Chains A and B, each alone.
Chain A
Amino acid sequence: MKINTAIVDSPEYKYIVDMIEKGSSVLDLGCGNGDLLAILKKERGITRSQGIEIDEKAVYECVAKGVSVFHGDIDTGLSEYSDKSFNYVILNQTFQQVKKPDGVLKEALRVGGKVIVGFPNFAYAAARFHLAVRGRAPITKSLPYEWFNTPNIHFLSIADFRDYCKTRDITIEKACYLAKSRPVRFMPNVFALLGVFLIVKNEKEADRT
């Protein structure tokens, strides 16, 4: 893969790109400036792509890159899509920012064959230190905001998400954990800044017949 500034800025893009099969269709919830979809078009030849983004300036950047985008919020943007409208639905760095992550993920799993979820790990070592020792709201590379200006409204760890998937009958097909730009294998819930998961909803017996 060519050196791409977007990939340098967002190291998880490389891993997300690897999770997506060539020629797929992709819906990116909270697509930002459209970099990820533009990379996917180029690298994975995705056939159909659609972004949803709340920020007006980011929408203009998407359009300049040839990325189709809806200007609006994710919480209400999915209901019109029929089941399995896209091969993949991406919720990267936006999962912790939506009002109802549970509802959005349920909808994402309905609309997409597979879902990719990426979020900052709240149980990262430095975050633990900030909270437990310094008694301050954590600020880390993946949680760079102050308590008063953060767009993040839900805080979860890698372990929290794994537990959640179990209770919701969701299978984690792939998971990758990142510290800066490197993958973490040892105790990711402590040493990873980010978690990226490829998940599918388990089909119920009744649905199969």
Chain B
Amino acid sequence: MTDLGKVETQYFTFGQPPQELGLESGEKLGPVTLAYETYGVLNSARSNAVLVLHAFSGDAHAAGYHDGEKSPGWWDDMIGPGKGFDTDKYFIICSNILGGCKGSTGPASLNPVTQLPYALDFPVIGIRDMVNAQEKLIDYLGIQRLLAAAGGSMGGMQALEWMFHHSQRIKSVIPISTALRHSPQQIAFNEVGRQAIMADSRWNNGAYYAGSPPNRGLALARMVGHITYMSDRSMAEKFGRRLKDERSPFKFTADFEVESYLQHRGKSFVGRFDANSYLYITKAMDYYDALQGEKPQVLLGASDLKVLVIAFKSDWLYPSYQTQEIVRVCKIAGLDTTYCEIESQYGHDAFLLEIDEETHLITHFLERVNKGD
């Protein structure tokens, strides 16, 4: 197995007025730019494209190395020659979501009307809008039908959206560690994050782009997030009750290693994420409901979609009862489905870490879909 080497982000802009992107809310947004990366080669039949969908704080840079950078993309262990998403066989696409802050149009982008950042003038967006924007990118790349759409967490929600509302354009779907809709507990954690940002006086109702951003609030939101991504056991193994510095006296500093880890994670997050994007994207997740009361068999019709659903045992943020609910819906719709709940201690983060098991499942699954078996 080798890696992809140097990769570059590309940009696709569409929806110039008056052909703006129509949003779920009824509003319109345009022009829209999506940052995206591709790995591998699109075959002449354009039938080997796999769309990889990133989680909440991810970006288009899923694999390989950007020029001058030492760490690779966020799912580099899974994407590359001979890896689960094998770039010798498949053409992998990953784009930053609509509403994001990593090159795609979001609240930090310039509003063409005011020539200022949108801030809270950015329209409310949903998972459905993110996927509709991705569909424009797929059109632009000349792909009629994706071999697969795959992603974990919020990426899994996008995969479900492709499945239920664009089933004609995909052959298979791989939702990982995700849910058809958020539970009150998931909404609650997101709300704590949002309140942390909005309680920071620098947030200034979202209008902070000319001055200092609400870094303290955003860092705090991220700290809460990180707690939910780990498990009790993985934290115990990683930090125990170890102290950062045995000699330092108690004065509400980061005494325990876990405290210092969370603070570090919070601080490094503010350098790479926009607080308003945090608000918009978490709301998009909370409002998402894959079925919206519709019957899955009605949405899907007689579909030949193949589905691979993956969950992890210690994930308490997206517990396996939620992935099993996805499986139940697939059964009702009569879809060819495989479900595996992988033994892991890493909590929600497991989908980025349990590479061997995921590679095995995804490699064989994609092979089967590719063969049309």
Q: Which of B327, B364, B373 contacts A64 (CB 8 A)?
A: B364
Residues of A within 8 A of B361 (CB): 60, 63
8 Å CB contacts to B: which residues of A33-64? 48, 50, 56, 59-60, 62-64
Residues of B within 8 A of A69 (CB): 338-340
8 Å CB contacts to A: which residues of B314-373? 324, 327-328, 331-332, 334, 336-343, 357, 360-361, 364-365, 367-368, 373
* A68 vs B364: C-alpha distance when bound (angstroms): 11
In the complex, the answer to whether A56 meets B338 with C-beta atoms within 8 Å is no
Q: Which of A56, A66, A81, A82 contacts B368 (CB 8 A)?
A: A66
Residues of B within 8 A of A72 (CB): 324, 327, 339, 341
Given contacts A70-B327, A80-B332, contact A63 B338 (CB under 8 A): yes
Given contacts A60-B357, A60-B361, A63-B364, contact A68 B338 (CB under 8 A): yes
Residues of A within 8 A of B338 (CB): 62-63, 68-70
Residues of A within 8 A of B341 (CB): 56, 71-72
* A107 vs B324: C-alpha distance when bound (angstroms): 19
Residues of A within 8 A of B343 (CB): 56
In the complex, the answer to whether B364 meets A66 with C-beta atoms within 8 Å is yes
Chain B interface residue bracket vs A: 20 to 34
In the complex, the answer to whether A80 meets B324 with C-beta atoms within 8 Å is no
Q: Which of A60, A70, A80, A82 contacts B339 (CB 8 A)?
A: A70
Given contacts A60-B360, A63-B361, A80-B332, contact A68 B337 (CB under 8 A): yes
* A20 vs B339: C-alpha distance when bound (angstroms): 26
The distance from the CB of B14 to the nearest CB of chain A, in whole angstroms, is 37
The distance from the CB of A32 to the nearest CB of chain B, in whole angstroms, is 15
8 Å CB contacts to A: which residues of B68-104? none
* A85 vs B361: C-alpha distance when bound (angstroms): 26
In the complex, the answer to whether A68 meets B336 with C-beta atoms within 8 Å is yes
A-B contact count (CB 8 A): 49
Q: Which of B340, B360, B364 contacts A71 (CB 8 A)?
A: B340
Q: Which of B327, B331, B332, B365 contacts A63 (CB 8 A)?
A: B365
Most buried by B among A48, A50, A56, A71: A71
* A66 vs B371: C-alpha distance when bound (angstroms): 11
* A66 vs B336: C-alpha distance when bound (angstroms): 11
In the complex, the answer to whether B360 meets A63 with C-beta atoms within 8 Å is yes
In the complex, the answer to whether B331 meets A80 with C-beta atoms within 8 Å is yes
In the complex, the answer to whether A85 meets B360 with C-beta atoms within 8 Å is no
The distance from the CB of A27 to the nearest CB of chain B, in whole angstroms, is 10
Residues of A within 8 A of B334 (CB): 85
* A196 vs B360: C-alpha distance when bound (angstroms): 34
8 Å CB contacts to A: which residues of B254-290? none
8 Å CB contacts to A: which residues of B37-71? none
Residues of B within 8 A of A62 (CB): 338
The distance from the CB of B253 to the nearest CB of chain A, in whole angstroms, is 43
In the complex, the answer to whether A56 meets B342 with C-beta atoms within 8 Å is yes
Residues of B within 8 A of A71 (CB): 339-341
Please name the residue on chain B nearest to A49 by beta carbon.
B336
Please name the residue on chain B nearest to A52 by beta carbon.
B339
The distance from the CB of A23 to the nearest CB of chain B, in whole angstroms, is 16
Residues of B within 8 A of A82 (CB): 332
Please name the residue on chain B nearest to A80 by beta carbon.
B331
* A59 vs B373: C-alpha distance when bound (angstroms): 18
* A81 vs B335: C-alpha distance when bound (angstroms): 11
* A23 vs B261: C-alpha distance when bound (angstroms): 58
Residues of A within 8 A of B327 (CB): 70, 72
Residues of A within 8 A of B364 (CB): 63-64, 66
The distance from the CB of B335 to the nearest CB of chain A, in whole angstroms, is 9
In the complex, the answer to whether B373 meets A66 with C-beta atoms within 8 Å is yes
The distance from the CB of A39 to the nearest CB of chain B, in whole angstroms, is 15
* A59 vs B311: C-alpha distance when bound (angstroms): 13
Please name the residue on chain B nearest to A60 by beta carbon.
B360
A76-91 near B? 1/0 per residue, CB < 8 Å = 0000111001000000
* A81 vs B342: C-alpha distance when bound (angstroms): 24
26 A-B pairs whose Cβ atoms sit less than 8 Å apart in the complex: A50-B336, A56-B340, A56-B341, A59-B340, A60-B340, A62-B338, A63-B338, A63-B340, A63-B361, A63-B365, A64-B360, A66-B364, A66-B368, A68-B337, A69-B338, A69-B339, A70-B327, A70-B337, A70-B338, A70-B339, A71-B339, A71-B341, A72-B339, A80-B328, A80-B331, A82-B332
Question: Other than the known A69-B340, A80-B332, what 11 A-B pairs have Cβ atoms closer than 8 Å?
Answer: A56-B340, A56-B343, A60-B360, A63-B365, A64-B360, A68-B306, A70-B327, A71-B340, A71-B341, A72-B324, A85-B334
- Nearest 9 interchain pairs by C-beta: A80-B331, A70-B339, A71-B340, A63-B364, A80-B328, A66-B368, A68-B338, A59-B340, A71-B341
A-binding residues in B (CB < 8 A): 306, 324, 327-328, 331-332, 334, 336-343, 357, 360-361, 364-365, 367-368, 373
